[in-house]
Structure 1
């Protein structure tokens, strides 16, 4: 599995359930592809696909492997016809496709060849398993509590179409160069829709700046945390909101560590609104501009406020009724199969195990000294290039933030905490095979062999 840092917790949880079924998991950044397609070419694998690349998937199938699509990006990949067409085109190379919910399953399956429709399965994504109440203690960060207390007001922004850290035009051009995305990202209707969204987000973002400043003034004894989306340009908020003593721009660390000790979250149509709702936080949906684009599922999370005064009043009230919370979660279930107590990871692991039954287990080895040196040289080169001004520096900084240096001690600590919080997760062996590439395998060598 290739993963970005923000997906790590869900992938570790899935890897533990795969280990419970006797399956080892290789995960990490782009170097995972090096293992699969160069160092261990020709060996059968279970491949968790996110790129929707027909040729790569077909190669894996031809070599006796299995391909499972598990896309981490958002709730709304089935909204635009271009996305549906993309998945339909690659669908013959999916052993199965695990999607967020029943709504998404129906839209996607309808576009697939008839003999492939039952391969689309509504399981939810393992990342959202981590919102179950059993994991509340897992997310809490004592450093955050020490700096900001437990009554801070968190404001999350998600205005990527307007405020992308690479520049929206540069980002679209980069994605359009990828074979699997080029048709969609060169489609005039899609680009026009993106332009309209950017204009709408710019108007909403301007209102969020005003709201954040006014909330900080209205609650001088509490910290106000503005947390930009990981793909947003943080300087947009720093330039506009600097100088307010109780207002902080924070983009470091997992978002759930911040949500776990916040007293309230304010958002517009961000996935964190859903996450905060499921984690039991008070949630406010600030909706100051008449929508020019189709609303998504996330825009229904929380108590609606159309003005800054209404935001402040909801913060003062300090509560969201359990009936309203339950009603909103119930409405989300068709879009998120693993909310309200259901879990995705054990379902996915059992399905994969059944499909892989009878296959041969093989384990990749640690990179040799030369290969490890090449990885470090590449990483250090990125650190240097990230300091460059202009578009090149922005692009490299974006890549480093998506795949930061991940010490093995941090991965081991997270695995240990997960096993403490859920009975029945197996003992595992964790090995760092190279820079940012890890192998989890069952500690019990007597586990039944699987592919």
Structure 2
């Protein structure tokens, strides 16, 4: 048997957004010889205080959270690497640096992983002496968009299509107004998103009337209150408010995607989906430019309905102007993220992880499970409902099929929503 390389801690905050990518990392980490701890963020943090020293994989956080989590990880003897989930789209570079990339925290990070050259230039432009810590690796979330892994979601996509037929996916991002804690009062920040929220509600109702035989699936941002949409469309039988599973399978199954400033439009673009960017209003402070550029831009309901009619009738705007615009968008996107079918983010990450010198793995280790308990939190439950051994096994089975492997991976539940993963051939 081979010697285990060390421990790797993979905390997950928002399950529908992060889990599949973290499971992809966990799968290959076990193959590389790491013992992986994965699960809901709070309990992975807790496990990192009682399990052996290793690598803590930070997902990026705003100021106070980042300071607490990185400081605790270092104090517990871990090496910290970081891939900021919010690093792809940086609309306000000053705010990004102030909120998520404070100078004093860089001393705690051994390797800072960047989605692409734009994010790296923002960071190194502000902190040139930290350039040696910043590496462009992409993100495993986007590995799952490549042709190699498309069959992972095949069964789910067929199931969705059987349930909803040819449907329109509407992605929203209005949590600044439509918050989990309730509708925000009118203030400078929420007023713009209140207008967008109401405009999207009005648009969806108009599309329901115009296309009564078409299903519309609304997928709220994880930070939004889905009940508000349920209430708005309770009388519309062809509108479905759904917030479950990775966005990729929903994008793959959709006929067309409608959004405003959503990161998911980049994923849709990379999957070759037709996108409508609905822009009924603009704001220099709050607009996210890149995602809107990747779609057919519409400023009113009539334009959306015209575009949608054409798309639903299988005229996907295959004109020379549209094709030219899509080619230009690919070039623009390269600054933010370079996606290929030959180079994978997880491979770049493991090249870097393997360069880190880790403490020797203890031969025997079995902490008391009584220490691995966190109080249930309603808000956390919304972001991370649960995780089961069966879910992990099912995902790994699909990766085995992609790789042509017969897995010998051990998956052990060590707490609520917390698992230890390793390969049997490593000790």
Q: TM-score range by the shorter chain?
A: 0.7 to 0.9
Aligned counterpart, 1:2: 11
Match of 2:247 among 225, 247, 255: 255
CA gap of 1:274–1:430, structure 2 versus 1, over 3 A, is same
Question: Counting strand residues as a fraction of each chain, which structure ranks higher?
Answer: 2
Aligned counterpart, 1:421: 402
Q: Is this contact kept in 2: 1:265–1:284, CA < 8 A?
A: yes
Aligned counterpart, 1:154: 169
Are residue 133 (structure 1) and residue 147 (structure 2) matched? yes
Answer with 122-131 or 261-270: which moved more.
122-131
| Per-residue CA distance 1:239-273 (angstroms, 9 max, x = gap) | 22221221222223322222121111100111111
For residues 364 and 210 of structure 1, the distance between their equivalents in structure 2, rounded to whole angstroms, comes to 61
CA gap of 1:54–1:426, structure 2 versus 1, over 3 A, is farther
Give how far 1:352 is off: 0.6
For residues 415 and 409 of structure 2, the distance between their equivalents in structure 1, rounded to whole angstroms, comes to 18
CA gap of 1:74–1:354, structure 2 versus 1, over 3 A, is closer
Are residue 124 (structure 1) and residue 119 (structure 2) matched? no
Q: Is this contact kept in 1: 2:39–2:387, CA < 8 A?
A: no
Are residue 46 (structure 1) and residue 55 (structure 2) matched? yes
Q: Is this contact kept in 2: 1:159–1:232, CA < 8 A?
A: yes
Q: How do 1:356-435 and structure 2 match up within 5 A?
A: 356=357, 359-362=359-362, 368=368, 370-371=370-371, 374=373, 378=375, 382=376, 396-422=377-403, 427-435=408-416
For residues 400 and 45 of structure 2, the distance between their equivalents in structure 1, rounded to whole angstroms, comes to 28
For residues 125 and 109 of structure 1, the distance between their equivalents in structure 2, rounded to whole angstroms, comes to 19
Q: TM-score, normalised by structure 1?
A: 0.80
Q: Is this contact kept in 2: 1:19–1:426, CA < 8 A?
A: no
For residues 44 and 113 of structure 2, the distance between their equivalents in structure 1, rounded to whole angstroms, comes to 21
Q: Which runs of 5+ in 1 are unaligned?
A: 171-193, 383-395, 447-451
For residues 218 and 299 of structure 2, the distance between their equivalents in structure 1, rounded to whole angstroms, comes to 19
Q: TM-score, normalised by structure 2?
A: 0.84
Answer with 316-325 or 53-62: which moved more.
53-62
For residues 168 and 415 of structure 2, the distance between their equivalents in structure 1, rounded to whole angstroms, comes to 40
CA gap of 1:64–1:34, structure 2 versus 1, over 3 A, is closer
Match of 2:298 among 290, 302, 305: 305
Report how many residues are paired.
Answer: 398
Let me know the Cα RMSD of the aligned residues: 2.8
Give how far 1:343 is off: 2.1
Match of 2:45 among 8, 22, 33: 33
Q: Matched residue of 1:24: which SS?
A: strand
Aligned counterpart, 1:11: 22
Are residue 108 (structure 1) and residue 108 (structure 2) matched? no
For residues 244 and 173 of structure 2, the distance between their equivalents in structure 1, rounded to whole angstroms, comes to 15
For residues 65 and 209 of structure 1, the distance between their equivalents in structure 2, rounded to whole angstroms, comes to 47
For residues 352 and 232 of structure 2, the distance between their equivalents in structure 1, rounded to whole angstroms, comes to 49
Give how far 1:224 is off: 1.2
For residues 146 and 333 of structure 2, the distance between their equivalents in structure 1, rounded to whole angstroms, comes to 15
For residues 243 and 73 of structure 2, the distance between their equivalents in structure 1, rounded to whole angstroms, comes to 37
Runs of 4 or more, structure 1, over 6 Å off, are: none
Answer with 263-272 or 52-61: which moved more.
52-61
Give how far 1:64 is off: 5.3
